[in-house]
Structure 1
Amino acid sequence: MKNPTLLQCFHWYYPTGGELWPEVEALAPSLNEIGINMVWLPPAYKGASGGYSVGYDTYDLFDLGEFDQKGSVATKYGDKAQLLAAINALKEHNIAVLLDVVVNHKMGADEKEALRVQRVDEQDRTQIDEEIIECEAWTRYTFPVRAGQYSQFVWDYKCFSGIDHIENPTEDGVFKIVNDYTGEGWNEQVDDELGNFDYLMGANIDFRNHAVTEEIKYWARWVMEQTGCDGFRLDAVKHIPAWFYKAWDRACSGGGPAAAVYCSGILVP
């Protein structure tokens, strides 16, 4: 596609109620008429806040508005059937589709686990306290309602490198999880803001765990097959190791065309 015109089809304050997907479906013909040939849709999967989620509090990537999880079947934007109808309408009018996605972290875990953590200086993440704290944290994702459909992968504390809340003792902050993958600290090849900006929020996904990266690549192929979308807009990229994007691109497109824009700090025109 030469010189595509991209339209962002949502905003942060879009109202709840599941009306975006039908709205996009209805708008597809007129978008084509005014010269739009690519659209950017919001996260289509279930967030931790269910039908109220904008989509950046990732819970279950495989729930596109199909399962009664987190208090609703539909996402904030509609159910899976409405999503597919919207994408089909766009494709019928020669409009490519990008889905927004957050693979940096998870929120809304199903179970707590006993684990060990270390306190981290929130203003300098390279400063990690030597004390090991025995505690509990919400780090186990089993997706009991989906019950293994589409993926049987269970996320546990070995899939994550950090969290922001522990219990027994109860404390908020930034904590590095102690497991088989975090012995050398945070992931490298991330933004150097705050010393190392691997950790952002929630349960921070650790890309050094090979099973985790394979699951994320599997999901990318799955969602492209399920929806017919043409690609993704990746959120929170500066918190994810740069090497992962080549692997992601190969998994999604076989090394085909890809574009990236990464901005850090304040941009002045």
Structure 2
Amino acid sequence: MKTKLLYFFVTSFLILSSCSNNDDSSTTLPEPTTPEAGEVTPLDLTKYESGNNVMMQTFYWDVEPRGDWWDILSEKVASWADAGVDRLWLPVATKGQSGGYSMGYDPSDYFDFGEYEQHGTTETRFGSRTELENLIKKAHENNLEVIADIVINHNSGGGEEYNPYRDKNTYTLFDETHGNASGLFNRNYENFYPNSTSNYDEGSLFYAEQNLDHNQDYVQNWLWKQDNSVAKYYKNTMGFDGWRFDYVLGYEPWVVKAWLDEVGGFSVAELWDGNPVVLKKYIEETGSNVFDFSTFYKLEEALDRYEDLTYLDKEMLWQTYPEKAVTFTANHDTEKDSNEDNFIMAENKLIAYAYILTHPGYPTIFYSDYENEAFQEEIKQLITIHNSLAIGETEILYVDADEYIMKRKGTSENPGLIIYINTSDTTKRRTVKSNWINSTLIDYSLNSTYAPYAKEDGEVNLEAPGKGYAVWSTTTPQE
């Protein structure tokens, strides 16, 4: 149904203006060129598609209550689908050494989804296997893919055994009575670095003694090659549709490529590196998507560290590989990290979401942000904008320390958008060249009630609130 909003045109404001030299000495914003005051009809965004939706990261670090998480997520699946989500990234679904307290990144039994009594519990932190299967089924019923978090750099929780290659005891024995109750993919010291066929894996930065040797046929067979391998069991038996590869700095790119060549599916790699050249090289070596840490850090620098939006005019992965860049503003690691340069402050989160949800790339929404009542409606509106109008080539129309204006040029059938970010304390306006002519514009983010008019040459005077943003596009012509 087409929705109508009433926009009142304002003739003058006694607030600070934006000038080309960023001099805020003026006290009056320029009067906009607008049609006669009255009713304007927003576009029906349900009639437009950008060809891209968003992924939901469905957890945060140390989720509570323990044992109920799969059921909690099941209750949210339908509403997430309605909001425009098309994939769910689940936490590591199998038993870790920490048992009922484990977030899964200390993997012990790759086939225990909450059905074997070991490490002090039967269920995982997130619930039982049956509850997980119900969640996956419900996601599929709502046309959502389910992404498995895959941790194959290291293992944890095995039994102690003498390791001749280290000349000491190591916790590298995994069998039915030592951290691998399923009996599938049993391991011992020969399957970890170093061993009789491999020296140390220099790429591993932690869990060195339990760092899997992916060069071995035995390990490859159990991880992705044979019919009951981890990859094929997760896909064919459990119903997972794709993969999030944890800590790929710890093993070679060919491992991810081999996995994908064998089983396919959507994938995204956690290559924690802010250099877009490094991320680009990994994409080309593996064929996998990667989390766009280059954009994450540019947002952190622009909004927090240096408070300078010109950092958004730097090189980022989405510029060269938009179809492979999985953008984000937060995840379970950044939010628990004590390093202030590894997270975006709460007061800037919505601006960061406005950026990734209007720019190219595949955005990821962080559970804790979406479920924050102060953020949810605004993020939902941005998802709607992303899924409908965020299409076409990008062009930065203006950028300085506290203003950033970017245009998505749209297509012949889609008008695209212009995002205006303003990190100063006051409302600003700036005249730019749009692709729209003889058209009233409105802010689809609902942060501004200003309704400027794009003249026959496309020139238009746009507005953004202080410490905020606006997302502009055209309206339906009045009959």
TM-score by length of 2: 0.44
Gaps of 5+ in 1: 118-133, 162-176, 187-195
Q: Which residue does the alignment assign to 2:219?
A: 212
Q: Quick one: distance in 2 between partners of 1:17 and 1:139?
A: 28
Q: Quick one: distance in 2 between partners of 1:58 and 1:82?
A: 20
Larger Rg over CA atoms: 2
Q: CA deviation at 1:203?
A: 0.4
Give the secondary-structure state (helix, strand or coil) at the position aligned to 2:230.
helix
More helix by share: 2
Q: 2:242 aligns with which of 223, 226, 231?
A: 231
Q: CA deviation at 1:15?
A: 1.8
Q: CA deviation at 1:259?
A: 5.3
Instruction: Give RMSD over aligned pairs.
Output: 2.3
Q: Which residue does the alignment assign to 2:116?
A: 67
The equivalences for 1:107-256 within 5 A come to 107-117=156-166, 134-144=167-177, 149=182, 151=184, 153-161=185-193, 177=194, 179-183=195-199, 185-186=200-201, 196-201=202-207, 203-217=210-224, 218-253=229-264
Give the secondary-structure state (helix, strand or coil) at the position aligned to 1:78.
coil
Q: Which residue does the alignment assign to 1:167?
A: none
Gaps of 5+ in 2: 1-49, 276-293, 299-479
The equivalences for 1:19-34 within 5 A come to 19-34=68-83
Q: CA deviation at 1:33?
A: 1.2
Q: CA deviation at 1:34?
A: 1.1
Give the secondary-structure state (helix, strand or coil) at the position aligned to 1:87.
helix
Q: CA deviation at 1:110?
A: 2.5
Conserved 8 A contact 1:115-1:137: no
Work out the number of aligned pairs and report it: 224
Q: Does 1:41 align with 2:90?
A: yes
Q: Which residue does the alignment assign to 1:264?
A: 273
Structure 1 letter corresponding to 2:216: N
Q: Quick one: distance in 1 between partners of 2:196 and 2:84?
A: 51
Q: CA deviation at 1:223?
A: 1.3
Conserved 8 A contact 2:154-2:210: yes
Of residues 108-117 and 256-265 in structure 1, the stretch that sits farther from structure 2 once superposed is 256-265
Q: Quick one: distance in 1 between partners of 2:196 and 2:136?
A: 41
Q: CA deviation at 1:252?
A: 1.5
Closer, same or farther in 2 for the Cα pair 1:154/1:257, shift >3 Å? closer
Q: Quick one: distance in 1 between partners of 2:103 and 2:117?
A: 17
The runs of at least 4 aligned residues of structure 1 exceeding 4 Å deviation read: 145-150, 256-261
Q: Quick one: distance in 1 between partners of 2:134 and 2:269?
A: 28
Give the secondary-structure state (helix, strand or coil) at the position aligned to 1:33.
helix
Q: Does 1:5 align with 2:54?
A: yes
Q: Provide the identity percentage.
A: 29
Q: Which residue does the alignment assign to 1:171?
A: none
Conserved 8 A contact 1:67-1:146: no
Structure 1 letter corresponding to 2:177: P
Q: After superposition, give the CA deviation of every residue in 1:138-174 in whole Å (9 maximum; x if it has no partner).
A: 11100338987572x320111001xxxxxxxxxxxxx
Q: CA deviation at 1:227?
A: 1.7
Q: CA deviation at 1:199?
A: 4.0
